[in-house]
Amino acid sequence: MDASSRPPGPRRAPRPTINDVAARAGVDRAVVSKVLSGDPSLRVRDETRERVQVAARDLGYRPNFHARSLARSRAGALGLLMPEGNPLFTELMAGAEEVATERDLLLWTATHGGDLGERHRRLLLGGVVDALLVTGLDAAVDAHALFAETRVPMIIVNRRSKGSDRWVILDDARAAEVATRHLVDMGHTAIAFLGGPPEVDTAERRLDGYRSAMTGAGLPIDPALVVHAAYTPAAGYAVVRPLLRGATRPTAIVAADAPLGLGAWHALDALGLRVPRDVSLIAVHRLPLEEFRVPAMTCVGLPLRLLGRRAAELVLDCPPEAPIHEILRDGIVLAEGATVAAPQPRAPSRRVRPTGAVNRLTR
């Protein structure tokens, strides 16, 4: 049987169009498009907005993203570049994805090692995304040059990089101040600060918060108790040993980042020091699922999901050339775990138990 002799099958119902939705809702098709795309410039009554949404749902209408992208010369995607290996950025990514979903955009993500290589630059110039969030840039990266060479609106997230005039950051200074004050309130005076990489904006702000809390409490800042390291568990593990060999032994440590704090904790454990009996430990930021770990690390949590949301809103809603300077000051929470206690009296000659497990990062 050839095609001409086959009996006709059931006809497929035509796919509903934007015109069908507009006719049912009694509005112009442009209103339908803006309502369903979440266009912030649209000014209509809530009743009209709801009528459009109900009409689209009843008809089973789904926007044609490919056609929309071609019509608007847009990629239909929001980009997020994150540093590799840091689990804290999953919350930031979740916030950005919420906004992308609300705006009918896909979220395109990639990781980097601090500097944006040629692969990233080609993507930025190739129309892969309509706007871009960039996090975790090295201090040496010239953000002004980076902005100048890309064709899409960009915003730097939680870091005021060199040359950047478009950024949104957390109140990292206050978070570190809250962490340090908590230790002071527990009776600690010899408090070490395990900071991030020198000249990185977040590290400088958190160091400012530590200094503010120490001077506000009338406590001296011992330069030997302030060390810097990359934001990784391995770096936290490595710097704790020399820190404890100094003339002044700290009774408590403020880690400027949760992965740093995790590495410091394991180093203390490998040295035979119990947390918090021998050394108290508190970290800025809270690792995902930290509340389910036993024992949990005492942390000062920051609103990373809100940061991701706000960064996405700003880069999508602000004019591409407009400066953006915003600090999110709310949402800082002290999450008390099991790693902070009052300092204990020490025996004069207590020795640290040697161990060969210098690379052990898991229990």
Superfamily of domain 172-302 in CATH is Response regulator (3.40.50.2300)
Please name which of 166, 158, 107, 181 lies closest in space to residue 306, comparing C-alpha atoms: 158
Q: How far is Cα 169 from Cα 189, in angstroms, rounded to an integer?
A: 30
Maximum separation of any 2 CA atoms in the chain, in Å: 101
Q: pTM of this prediction?
A: 0.73
Looking at residue 73, the DSSP 8-state letter turns out to be T
Q: pLDDT truncated to tens, each residue of the chain (363 aa)?
A: 444 444 444 444 567 888 889 999 999 888 887 887 666 677 888 889 889 989 988 888 866 544 444 344 467 889 898 887 677 788 999 999 999 999 889 998 887 765 665 555 655 655 678 888 988 777 667 766 766 767 788 899 998 877 788 999 999 999 999 999 999 999 999 999 999 998 888 999 999 999 999 999 999 999 999 999 999 999 999 999 899 988 889 999 999 999 999 999 999 999 999 999 999 999 999 877 667 677 899 999 999 999 999 999 999 999 888 899 999 999 999 999 999 999 987 655 444 443 333 333 333
**What does the H/E/C string look like for 232-248?**
CHHHHHHHHHHHHCCCC
Distances, alpha carbon 21 to alpha carbons 29, 58, 66, 186, in Å: 8, 9, 19, 63
Does 3.40.1390.10 match the CATH number of domain 74-170+304-330? Answer: no
Q: What is the DSSP letter of 305?
A: H
Q: Which residues contact 330 (CB under 8 A, 6 or more apart)?
A: 303
**pLDDT confidence of residue 354:** 39
Distance of alpha carbon 29 from alpha carbon 71, whole angstroms: 15
Q: Are 209 and 331 in contact (CB under 8 A)?
A: no
Q: Report how far residue 275's alpha carbon sits from residue 338's, in angstroms, rounded to the nearest whole number.
A: 8
Give the pLDDT score at 67.
44
Question: Which one-letter amino acid corresponds to residue 249?
Answer: R
Domain ranges of the chain: 74-170+304-330, 172-302
DSSP string across 244-261: HTSSS--SEEEESSHHHH
